[in-house]
Amino acid sequence: GAVAETFRVIQGAMSEEYVRATQGVFQFELSGEEGGTWYIDLKSKGGSAGFGKPPVAADVVMSMSSADFVKMFT
């Protein structure tokens, strides 16, 4: 789906430079299609993104619809 594809693209774009510069973990509580908890970890070595809770505590938690999430990142 669109949410999973967006996270796949985000994961592919990660670099150590982004992780060093950002140092943040973002958790998304999405409603609607492909809803649930998703995350972007730009704090841990190499960074990561995907479905579920982040591997470390989130610095920011955002709640929105899946459709709005996809719009925000495209």
The reply to whether the predicted model has a pTM over 0.75 is yes
Which domain does 62 fall in, by range?
A: 2-72
Overall number of domains in the chain: 1
Identify the CATH number of the domain in which residue 39 sits.
Answer: 3.30.1050.10
One DSSP character per residue, the chain reads: -HHHHHHHHHHHH--HHHHHHH-EEEEEEEESTT-EEEEEEESSTT-EEEESS-SS--SEEEEEEHHHHHHHH-
pLDDT digit string (tens) for 5-14?
A: 999 999 999 9
pLDDT digit string (tens) for 15-72?
A: 999 999 999 999 999 999 999 999 999 999 999 999 999 999 999 999 999 999 999 9
